[in-house]
Chain A
């Protein structure tokens, strides 16, 4: 293993927050592929004021992938959709006390999963 995980990463890996699914999610984001070793599925629930009231995830991946999934669900809760779109991969990594260099792609995946879930929500809203 190249580089050590921070205490915060390990804490989120040991006790990931918001694992699971939201059956009536407002938006779902699916990113990654098994060949690269990471798949993230992110569910968000958005209220009428465009505030993200709940977020859950399911992830296939390494310690960093699970910790970043956990952290991104924590970061988006209570934020408006517009605010959530501004959450970058660096913000997720920083909130975890940093990631080993070779694991930074996991934080990219978290950002992409969030964007994908929000885009799904926006597309659904447009249709209805």
Chain B
């Protein structure tokens, strides 16, 4: 017990033995995201062909091509990346907050709450549902200020819905200790709120088709406004989550220990729920219900590197961005010139991933 000998500390750099692996992962994921966004510029209903005039030059064609890239594809791909980054972040926050590897914005019901918020807001705004139609992108530009307000309003409604859904899930699950109860409560909340959303849709048939496409999860509605909103919410959410990450680390040691370390648990939890709901709500308000990105992103990061929550936030966010940008690319490219709603694709892929997780981890001490 080296307590009585005079103590000479090891130099910090040697003591910490920091590995550079997480940094390489961060760089790699960031580059992957950038690459996918670039690729996304080339994929769409008109394919790469339509872009040729950009470098062969030539009047109207070039202008058209520039418009396709600048007004449609760039915000859309960038938006897909940002929405994925938000969902990955939300997943990492949820898993840390609930100390539960299966917590995810989708499984906790918060995504359903957010989409109910969106549907309710649209129904209240009446004809505003048309805003979501992809064909109205051009028309929308002329009411730019209103468009901002609509976007912000939808995001606000989604945020409120997400907060309410998380709280409802927590009340039904009577706390976070019991994994199975939390999951079941999340599923129940998701189904019930989903039914409410469907009911609202049925009552407002004008917007039914646009809303349905939207709720399946699609990046087709993301213009520059949405894209900037997504990026603009992502940065503060990431900063907030990063700022709260030490508290999440301490919570991982158990509630009593975290409390004994002098952490104000109640306000911390409230702040984390707010970050979770804001990230989920913003993503859902722009891209609809996109399943499993929030679950898979932190898991994939953890499978590769062991990191404290501070770094997990960054990596899960970058991973989520890359996942959704990649899925979006697939959704647009697989059946081109037709496209799949990306939410359907992530649901299928994510469902398979969840099954694989369950299969791999049914051993004692496993996931459930």
Asked whether A and B interact, the reply is: no
